[in-house]
Structure 1
Amino acid sequence: MYYRSTRNAGLKMKSAEAIKKGLSEEGGLFVPCEIPVLTDTEWKKMIDMPYIERANLILRKYLTDFTAKEIAACTEAAYGGNKFSSDKVAPVVKLNNNQYILELWHGPTCAFKDMALQILPHFMTAAMKKTGEDKTVVILVATSGDTGKAALEGFKDVAGTRIIVFYPGEGVSDMQKLQMMTQEGANVFVSGIYGNFDDAQSGVKAIFTNEAENAELEKAGYILSSANSINWGRLVPQIVYYISAYCDMVHSGELTMGEKINVCVPTGNFGNILAAYYARKMGLPVHKLICASNQNNVLTDFIHTGEYNRNRDFYASVSPSMDILISSNLERLLFDISGCDDKRITTLMNKLNKSGSYQLPKTLHKKVTDLFWGGFCDDYFTKVRIWKTFTETGYTLDTHTAVAVDVYEQYVNETGDYTKTLIASTASPYKFNRVVLSALGEDSDEDDLTLTERLRDKCHMEIPASLSALRGKERRFTTVAAKEDMYSVIRDFLQVEEQLASVEKKEAENKGKVQKESVKKGVSAAKSTGKKEAASKAEEMVIGKSAVAKAEKKPVRRQTVGAQAETKPMAEKKDINK
């Protein structure tokens, strides 16, 4: 299978190259040239498979330049052992008769990003070997909270890699910030920036497309790649858990094979819900994709009107991982529904960059609304939904999942559609314990780690081991930089000046070696020439002596020959001329 850019459909490459690069040179995102469809036989087989085997089957369809053995090694390294607290990896919990919670936060950082970022480093190292790349891969990440920690944990001490994460200084929860600031690993670095997530994301994209900066890094021995969902290697594992969840529901008897479901996803950068869209194209029987936003409701407005407009107030909400006004992965959806029209996508994205908005033509907008429904939930109703769900069911929602549950209720009230719905739960409530406790009527000024214990006592949920371990950890990373200084932060961490000096020194040494070798060859050649000249002289001397000897003998012979020559001189000459 080949991949192409959303802004240059003529550019095609295999998955290993697409994963290594992350982002196309002109700023486009890589997408598969075709979406594979699962057969009825494969669906039936997957019902009884464990998560890892389902992942192997699905990923082999997309990563066709990877061997089955390589993919199996990646999935085992990512999801095997005790990395996930649930043996199902992504279990489905029934909330009521038509709501099912897909828990995606049982990984090491307690967020759905672990589902992809535990496997991406293994994809990346395999891709580097396949493409013959010997430079160090530098993973650049812009995070609204969860991606950063998950990427740091996934790439921690992975040979041949460095990872640098930028987060909005005041735009993540205290627990998210603590997780990143205390990150272990010799190849990691974290920096806050003055600004919001969109500032961080646009800053990272600008570095990816800056030719001079990339050339400098390459000379210093580095190559850039991404762990954000703009990287196909980050997005493709997310397709797996929607298909796996459906198989689990069929296996448990909650669904019959082929029965349609809705999927509701708390959405920021559009990657998670896009994975559900691709799962649908593979054959997942989805009736409606419900896009849930917080008060940064740019996607809700887009779905309803067809206009994408980021020219609006930005809110720092209690669901910070969704505090986004530029949803990068929407570009992939638009490319697909436009019939892979790269010129149209380039025009739309240029408009977004220059004026902050674009309007879809009616034909494209209808394709969006035929499948997607959008709604939003502000902070007040997010807290109300946490309280109401806990009171009615005993289930504790985090702030992002609460947004999704509330928007789902809005959808049902508006449409009357009671189709069974899978709701993506993207984070453990412990990552947002202060807000969750407040929603449940317990406000406190205590530190976040103490609040985890209070939430445990309130909700009777086990505290994730990775969060308990944060107590007493050193805060290693406290840098906060201006958006304009992001590349300087990267240069400092990678010691680019020192690396370039080392490269120049080696080049000078190599040049010196070449010059010395050239001199040696010259001397050797000169010596060789001298020997030849001496041999030539000796040969001349030998020839000379021989000539003398011959000359001394010739008079006798001349006398004999001469006598004959004197007899017939002209005739002999004529014979020679003939």
Structure 2
Amino acid sequence: MTTIYRSTRSNHINMTASQAILQGLSPDGGLFVLRNFPDHHINVADIVNLNYQEMAQTIFRLFLTDFSHDAIKECVQLAYEDKFTTKDITPLKQVGDDFVLELFHGPTNAFKDVALSILPHFMDHSLSIQNEAKKILILTATSGDTGKAALEGFKDNKAIDIMVFFPNEGVSSIQKLQMQTQVGNNLRVCGIDGNFDDAQTQIKQLFNNSEIIAEFDQVNIQLSSANSVNIGRLIPQIVYYFYAYSQLVNNQEIQVDESVDFIVPTGNFGNILAGFYAKKLGLPIRHLVCASNENKVLHDFLQTGIYDARRDFLMTTSPSMDILISSNLERLLFEVSGQDSDLINQWMDKLATHGYFSVDSDTLKEIQQTFRSGYATDEEVKQTIQSVYKEHDYLLDPHTAVAYKVMKEQEEFGYKQIVLATASPYKFTESVLDALNLSEDNATDDLFSRMSLLERETGVPVPDNLAELLELPILFNDCISTEEMSHYVLTHGKGD
């Protein structure tokens, strides 16, 4: 059975997996989704004893049916054999009576590594399957973690160039340094005087600009994306939900088929959507809890059915979640609306033109059967980091602290709670030090002195690849307005 992907906004745009991965975003502005999802199912009992790589191969075969089994195996081996600091890839840790799924043991210390370590290999094989001679230019907006993970994943790829845009004042010092020091002969990094939503909107407009597409076509270049709008970025994230569940089963914390809750710090909705797909495949998930920071547009939507981005954009201590336009929500709406493209177009058009939309009560009720939500202020994040470290000797980054705080509000007796930990605390050293009340007495402007202080005070070692940033030169220091992004892409993307 061939897996076919269609656009959320049209029933007439159909592609195989390799075509959808190379395309990234649908030509009509929609996102690619699995047409025949109800035909796909996984018997959890059959896979709970598999290791991470074996589990990944089993799941990928459902989604990548124009890839050979050998090609999938090769992609998995290249992505996960040597790049992660733990053989479990995404280990599950017990913290008190609850569990934290650590997704930050990859090469850039963020959860994006899980998908962006394998997406380049998916793309390479997709080019081969399609016998595509065009060069791929990946355009990516990042709120912090995607940028470095994508740069690391695609560096020195001969068939694929990559260009990353990030909010110049909207990422942590470490996140910015990680991107600005990235080596590779096929990449470019640029800050913008704006926020993540500004960058993401501009890139989506580039994908839908026929004149720009034609200009790149003349020089044999195809635009694509490494953001989670690309279905090839989203599919790998399904795996760690199953793997977390298998670890609970194998540690005799639950029985097979016992339901659990996942609490997910959420900005662009991709991470939690992967959990929704895992549930559709048969993973016994009771609730997916969407944890927002003070940019709580998703929390408000899940409570009321009204998605309203007409609000102040707040810069918080969890910057990777500072997002008001959550792209992957469109995929969820597509599924819960009965795959109604007319409704999706109506809602997305209203969001684009008026800054808000609302869903009907039946759609909201369908969403609320699976999704719960909550949010945390910066002060609550600070208190959570402090209390979890004091009570459990476990160090949270601010994004994971958002989810942990929301979990404690949602907790119900009898169900295992799993928080998705999205980044190393050292990617947000300043905020973590402040939460532990270590910043004022040990004031220093030197980032690496602060990292050393945090290591000394907590005993949690600084990841090697973050410590090594001290020795690396700044290679990219561009900063432009969002209005200049099209010109920047045309100028540097074609090699002019």
Could you tell me how far apart the structure 2 residues matched to 1:190 and 1:204 are?
Answer: 14
Could you tell me how far apart the structure 1 residues matched to 2:472 and 2:381 are?
Answer: 31
TM-score, normalized by length of structure 2? Answer: 0.97
User: Which structure 2 residues correspond to residues 417-428 of structure 1 after superposition, within 5 A?
Assistant: 417-428=413-424
1:183 counterpart residue number: 182
Q: Are the equivalent residues in 2 in contact too, given 1:9–1:340 (CA < 8 A)?
A: no
Structure 1 residue identity aligned to 2:31: L
Q: Find the residue that maps to 1:149 and give its secondary structure.
A: helix
CA shift for structure 1 position 271:
0.2
Could you tell me how far apart the structure 1 residues matched to 2:88 and 2:42 are?
Answer: 23
Structure 2 residue identity aligned to 1:435: S
Could you tell me how far apart the structure 2 residues matched to 1:327 and 1:59 are?
Answer: 25
2:21 counterpart residue number: 19
Could you tell me how far apart the structure 1 residues matched to 2:338 and 2:22 are?
Answer: 26
1:433 to 2:435 alignment: no
Measured against aligned partners, the alpha-carbon deviations of 1:36-69 in whole angstroms (never above 9, x if no partner) come to 54443xx334222110000000000110110000
CA shift for structure 1 position 418:
4.7
Q: Percent same amino acid among aligned pairs?
A: 44
- Which stretch has the larger CA shift, 178-187 or 455-464? 455-464
Q: Find the residue that maps to 2:345 and give its secondary structure.
A: helix
Could you tell me how far apart the structure 2 residues matched to 1:467 and 1:54 are?
Answer: 29
2:85 counterpart residue number: 85
Larger helix proportion of the pair = 1
Distance 1:200 1:417, change over 3 A: farther
Could you tell me how far apart the structure 2 residues matched to 1:104 and 1:199 are?
Answer: 27
Q: Find the residue that maps to 2:351 and give its secondary structure.
A: helix
TM-score, normalized by length of structure 1? Answer: 0.84
Q: Find the residue that maps to 1:183 and give its secondary structure.
A: coil
Could you tell me how far apart the structure 1 residues matched to 2:361 and 2:255 are?
Answer: 36
Measured against aligned partners, the alpha-carbon deviations of 1:529-554 in whole angstroms (never above 9, x if no partner) come to xxxxxxxxxxxxxxxxxxxxxxxxxx
CA shift for structure 1 position 472:
2.2
User: Which structure 2 residues correspond to residues 115-514 of structure 1 after superposition, within 5 A?
Assistant: 115-412=114-411, 416-443=412-439, 444-497=443-496
Could you tell me how far apart the structure 2 residues matched to 1:141 and 1:173 are?
Answer: 18
Measured against aligned partners, the alpha-carbon deviations of 1:197-253 in whole angstroms (never above 9, x if no partner) come to 100100110111100001001112211000000000000000001001101110111
Q: Which has the higher contact order (CA 8 A, sep 6+)?
A: 2
- Which stretch has the larger CA shift, 456-465 or 258-267? 456-465
Q: Are the equivalent residues in 1 in contact too, given 2:216–2:494 (CA < 8 A)?
A: no
Structure 1: which 5+ runs fail to align?
498-578
Could you tell me how far apart the structure 1 residues matched to 2:134 and 2:13 are?
Answer: 23
Q: Please identify runs of 4+ aligned residues in structure 1 that moved more than 4 A.
A: none
Q: Find the residue that maps to 1:85 and give its secondary structure.
A: coil
Aligned residues between the structures: 490
Measured against aligned partners, the alpha-carbon deviations of 1:106-155 in whole angstroms (never above 9, x if no partner) come to 00000000000000000001111111211110010000000000000000
Structure 2 residue identity aligned to 1:433: T
Greater C-alpha Rg? 1
Structure 1 residue identity aligned to 2:116: L
Q: Are the equivalent residues in 1 in contact too, given 2:444–2:450 (CA < 8 A)?
A: no
Q: Find the residue that maps to 1:167 and give its secondary structure.
A: strand
CA shift for structure 1 position 458:
1.5
Structure 2 residue identity aligned to 1:62: F
CA shift for structure 1 position 492:
2.5
CA shift for structure 1 position 308:
0.2
2:8 counterpart residue number: 6
1:54 counterpart residue number: 55
Q: Find the residue that maps to 1:469 and give its secondary structure.
A: helix
1:65 counterpart residue number: 66
CA shift for structure 1 position 454:
1.2
Q: Find the residue that maps to 2:212 and give its secondary structure.
A: helix
Q: Are the equivalent residues in 2 in contact too, given 1:217–1:496 (CA < 8 A)?
A: no
Could you tell me how far apart the structure 2 residues matched to 1:23 and 1:39 are?
Answer: 27
1:558 counterpart residue number: none
Q: Are the equivalent residues in 1 in contact too, given 2:42–2:281 (CA < 8 A)?
A: no
Could you tell me how far apart the structure 1 residues matched to 2:495 and 2:84 are?
Answer: 37
CA shift for structure 1 position 270:
0.2
